[in-house]
Amino acid sequence: MLNKYPMWKNIMVVLVIAIGGFYALPNLFGEDHAVQVVATRGADVTATTQSDVSAALTAKGIGIKRSELENGQLLVRVANAEDQLTAKETIAELLGDKYTVALNLAPATPEWLESVGGSPMKLGLDLRGGVHFLMEVDMSEAIRKMEEAKIADFRSQLREERIRYAGVHRTVRGIEIKFRDAETLSQAERFLKSRGNDMVFSDISSGDNVVLLAVMSEAYLKQIKEEALLQNITTIRNRVNELGVAEPVVQRQGAERIIVELPGVQDTARAKEILGATASIEFHMVDEKADVAAAANGRVPAGSELYQRREGGPVVLKKEVMLTGDHITGAQPSFDEYSRPQVAIQLDAKGGEIFSNVTKDNIGKPMATLFIEYKDSGERNPDGSVKMRKIEEVISVATIQARLGRNFVITGLTHSESQNLALLLRAGALIAPVSIVEERTIGPSLGAENIENGLQAMIWGMVVVLAFMLVYYRAFGVIANLALCANLIMVVGVMSMIPGAVLTLPGIAGMVLTVGMAVDGNVLIYERIREELRAGRSVQQAIHEGYGNALSTIADANITTFLTALILFAVGTGAVKGFAVTLMIGIATSMFTAIVGTRAIVNALWGGKRVKKLSI
Partner 1 sequence: MFQILDIKGSINFLRHAAPISILSAILVVGSLVSLATRGINWGLDFTGGTVVEMEFSKSVNLETLRSNLTEPLVAGAVVQNFGSSRDVLVRLQVREGVKSDDQVRVVMAKATELDPEVVQKRVEFVGPQVGKELAEQGGLAVLVALICILIYVSFRFEWRLAAGSVAALAHDVIVTLGVFSVLQLEFDLTVLAGLLTVVGYSLNDTIVVFDRIRENFLKMRKGTPEEVVNNSITQTMSRTIITTGTTLITVVALFLKGGTLIHGFATALLLGIVVGTYSSIYVASYLAIRLGINREHMMPVEVEKEGADQPSIMP
Site for partner 1, residues 202 to 241, rule: CB under 8 A: none
Closest approach of Cβ 172 to partner 1, in Å?
A: 23
Out of 517, 588, 605, 611, the residue judged to bind partner 1 by CB under 8 A:
517
Binds partner 1 (CB under 8 A): choice among 472, 535, 608, 609: 472
Shorter beta-carbon distance to partner 1: residue 58 or 385 = 385
132's enclosing H/E stretch is strand 130-137
Binding status of residue 589 toward partner 1 by CB under 8 A: no
Binding partner 1 (rule: CB under 8 A), the pick from 344, 437, 470, 478 is 437
Minimum Å gap between C-beta 590 and partner 1 is 12
Site track for partner 1 across 383-422, x = CB under 8 A: xxxx------------------------------------
Q: Identify which of residues 276 and 333 has a Cβ nearer to partner 1 in the complex.
A: 276
Nearer to partner 1, 409 or 475 (CB): 475
Backbone angles phi, psi at 65, to 5 degrees: -75, -45
Task: Give yes or no for residue 468 binding partner 1 (CB under 8 A).
Answer: yes
Task: Give the residue with the Cβ less far from partner 1, 18 or 555.
Answer: 555
Q: Based on the shown chain and the rule CB under 8 A, indicate whether residue 580 belongs to the binding site for partner 1.
A: yes
Smallest separation (angstroms) from partner 1 to the CB of 498: 20
Q: For the chain, report the end-to-end CA distance as a whole number of angstroms.
A: 22
- 335/460 with CB nearer partner 1: 460
- The secondary structure of 539-572, three-state, reads HHHHHHHHHHHHHHHHHHHHHHHHHHHHHHHHHC
Residue from 80, 140, 416, 560 touching partner 1 (CB under 8 A): that is 560
Return the SS3 of 114: helix
Q: Which of 224, 232, 46 is nearest to 136 (CA)?
A: 232
Give CA–CA dist 316/304, Å, rounded: 7
Position 337 contacts partner 1 (CB under 8 A): no
Reported in sequence order, the residue ranges of 319-429 that DSSP labels E, i.e. its strands, are 323-324, 328-335, 341-347, 366-380, 386-399, 407-411
3-class state of residue 499 by DSSP = coil
Nearer to partner 1, 216 or 580 (CB): 580
User: How far are the Cα atoms of 49, 191, 329 from residue 187, in angstroms, in the given order?
Assistant: 64, 6, 41
Q: 317-354 in b/e burial notation, b at 16+ Cβ within 10 A?
A: bbbeebbbbebbbbbbbeeeeeeebbbbbbbeeebbeb
Beta strands in 8-81 (DSSP E): 31-39, 64-70, 73-78
Q: Are 178 and 214 in contact (CB under 8 A)?
A: no
Stretch of 82-90, 411-419, 501-509, 535-543 lying at the interface with partner 1 (CB under 8 A): 501-509
492 belongs to the binding site for partner 1 (CB under 8 A): no
Among 194, 552, 610, 612, binds partner 1 (CB under 8 A): 552
Q: Which is nearer to partner 1, 399 or 564 (CB)?
A: 564
Closer residue to partner 1 in complex, CB, 288/383? 383
Residue 27 near residue 65, CB atoms below 8 Å: no
Work out which of 1, 172, 269, 402 binds partner 1, going by CB under 8 A.
Answer: 269
User: How many residues bind partner 1, per CB under 8 A?
Assistant: 80
530 binds partner 1 (CB under 8 A): yes
Residue 527 CB, shortest distance to partner 1, in Å, is 5
| Binding segment (CB under 8 A) for partner 1, from list 93-101, 236-244, 362-370, 514-522 | 514-522
SS3 342: strand
Please pick, from the candidates 572, 588, 605, 611, the single residue that binds partner 1 as defined by CB under 8 A. Answer: 572
Find the helix or strand (DSSP H, E) in which 437 lies: strand 434-442
| DSSP-derived secondary structure letter, 45 | -
Q: Is 446 in the site for partner 1 (CB under 8 A)?
A: yes
Query: Which region, judged by CB under 8 A, interacts with partner 1, from 194-202, 274-282, 396-404, 450-458?
Result: 450-458
- Per-residue binding letters, 109-138, with partner 1 (x by CB under 8 A): -----------------x-------x-x--
Angle between helices 444-497 and 598-606 in degrees, nearest 10: 60
**Phi and psi of 230, rounded to 5°?**
-65, -40
73-81, 111-119, 363-371, 382-390 -> range binding partner 1 (CB under 8 A): 382-390
Tell me the C-alpha distance between 300 and 293, whole Å. 10
